[in-house]
Structure formats: C-alpha cells, structure tokens
Amino acid sequence: MENSNMKFQVIGDERGSLISLEAIKNIPFNIKRVYYIYNVDPKLPRGFHAHLELQQVLVCVSGSCKVILDDGHVKSEHILNEPDQGILVDKMVWHEMHNFSEDCILMVLASDIYKEEDYIRNFDDFRTSIKGKSISNNYFSHEKSLVETNNIGENTKIWAYTHVFPGAEIGENCNINDHTLIENDVVLGNNVTVKSGVHIWDGVRIGNNVFIGPSVVFTNDLNPRSKRYPEKFAQTIINNYASIGANSTIVAGNIIGEYAMIGAGSVVTKDVPPYTLWYGNPAVFRGYVCECGNKLNSQYICQLCNKNFKDKIEFI
C-alpha cells in the first residue's frame, strides 16, 4: 500500500482556519461525490468492504475515528482526529471505521458516483481477488531453492537454499536471496528486497518496497517453550518503504512505520513510527529520516534532497 496518510495545508489568520481540498491538486483524483457520516453509535463500526475502482479520501472534519486499511499484504491503523489530516483509501483496499466519537463528522471525497456493484463486501472474496492478481508463473526460483507456494508475483527472484512454505504470499519484483526461510502465514508485498539468511516466521506482514538486510530475524512468540504452540502467532507489520539493517531482530507484535529505518544489529521491542530512525539494543529513537534514507537535520530537512518533512512526521 502506498503511503495513505495525507496532511493538508491550513490557511489561517486571526479569524480562524481554512482548508481547501481541490481535485488533482491535493486530492489525487477528480471528485465526483462528497458524502459524510455522522451521529454514529461509538460501539458500531462501519465500512468492512473494498471498492473495485473507487478511490476516496476520508477526513474527520469534527471529532475522531479509527480507520483500518488492509490491501491484502499490509494492514495499518490510522487515527483521524484533525481536520487537516486525511486518509487515502485506494481501490482494492479493505477498510473499516471504528471508535467514532459522538461529535464525529467523517467527510468522504469520492472519485465516482455511488455504485453498489463497485463494492466487495465479503472479506474472503476480497482476499481471493487479491490473491488471483498476484499469482504468476513468470518468476525465477533457483534450482537449489525449495519453493512450495504458487502465490508469487511476476519477476520475483528466489535464490539458492531458500525455503518458501506453501502458504506464503510473495508479490511482484521481489528479490529473495540465499539461505532465507519464509513460513506459511507470511505476506510480502511488491519490490521487496530480502538479503541472505533472513528468517520470516508465521504472522509477519511486509509491505511494498521494504528492504530487509542480511540475517534479520523476526520472532512470533513472546513466551516460547519447546513443543508448546500459541493459538495464534503475534502479527508483526513492516510498512511500505521501511528498511531493516543487517542482523537486527524484530520482536513479535511490533509495527514498523512507513519509511522508518532500523540501524544494523538492533533489537526492536516497540512500535516504530513512520520516518523515524532507531538503533541499539533495545533500539531507541535517534532522529528522523528522509524517503531517500538520509537523516534529517534539526529543521527536519534532508540535506541531500532538500525536502522538508516538518508537516509529514509525527513528532516523538
């Protein structure tokens, strides 16, 4: 899933604040419909569907709610509680809205008129259509690899002595190097690089364009005992464009945010917010990083790209 968080420019003066949402300018499609949801019982979630073609931007113009997105590879949670904040819900993204505050007014900008035939309201149908898209025979697996899944996208390469279990899902254009193990309940997005000697166990979800350095280990059981298996393994989520340095360990149940950077040899024991740099054992927050990977300066500017991230990062 590409970065779905949006931040809008606020035009403010002593009279108050104004935000302008304009097709193609700060909304990435032509807006054909606007609707809003309000007076929602906080106990009753909404959504639970994906759209075949529709693109939408959700903005909480008052109050708050939680939005869960799932593109079939990566699941992410977003709190909407500021009117200058939006969430882009692309086509074929399963979405749910939870925890509506009583004063919540959720405004939705949509790329098309209402069409019931554009909805996929059953999660299994959604999963099936996502899977159907990624299966391909056009991938490479080295003769000395053991690949048991059929669910591998176009142009992916799997190198020698790597074992991929039957339930694993791997996207397009990935490069999985030697001596790597990928268990059953594992999902990798597109354009993922996995260097040699990586262990990816049940419960790990890896987004698009993620870099996983050599000898990285994911765990999935916080209280391991031999021959005792938890009912369900903890889920660890690595969001799009994150990078994990060589020889790091990601402890089960944590979420690594988009574009986050984990330094070599780290032990990650906490959630890591987007665009942040963490390293050490245990890994701690060390600063903010650019999309190119360079550390931002104290003004939140990348001195290589000249991009300013002040409006993009969550301050810690």
Q: Which residues bind ligand T46 (CB under 6 A)?
A: 33, 35, 37, 46-47, 56, 108, 114
Q: Which of 49, 98, 163, 179 is catalytic?
A: 49
Cα–Cα distance, 96 to 58 (Å, whole number): 12
Peptide bond between residue 282 and the one before it cis (omega within 30 degrees of 0) = yes
Task: Give 82 or 291: the residue with its C-beta nearer to ligand T46.
Answer: 82
Task: Give 82 or 154: the residue with its C-beta nearer to ligand T46.
Answer: 82
Unique residue bearing structure tokens 């000249």: 306
How far apart are CB 214 and ligand T46 at their closest, in Å? 41
- Residue pair 269/288 in contact by the 8 Å Cβ criterion: no
How far apart are CB 69 and ligand T46 at their closest, in Å? 11
How far apart are CB 116 and ligand T46 at their closest, in Å? 7
Q: Do strands 33-38 and 65-70 pair parallel, antiparallel, or not at all (unpaired)?
A: unpaired
Q: In Å, what is the CA distance from 188 to each residue of 35, 116, 238?
A: 34, 31, 9
Residues whose CB falls within 8 Å of the CB of residue 34, separated by 6 or more in sequence, listed in order: 107, 108, 109, 110
Give yes or no: 95 in active site: no
How far apart are CB 82 and ligand T46 at their closest, in Å? 18
- Is 16 buried (19+), middle (13-18) or exposed (0-12) by CB count in 10 A? exposed
Task: Give 88 or 130: the residue with its C-beta nearer to ligand T46.
Answer: 88
Cα–Cα distance, 11 to 156 (Å, whole number): 46
How far apart are CB 108 and ligand T46 at their closest, in Å? 5
Residue 124 has, within 13 A of its CA and on its CB side, a CA count of 0
Task: Give 114 or 229: the residue with its C-beta nearer to ligand T46.
Answer: 114
Cα–Cα distance, 261 to 245 (Å, whole number): 8
Task: Give 112 or 185: the residue with its C-beta nearer to ligand T46.
Answer: 112
As annotated, the active-site residues are 49
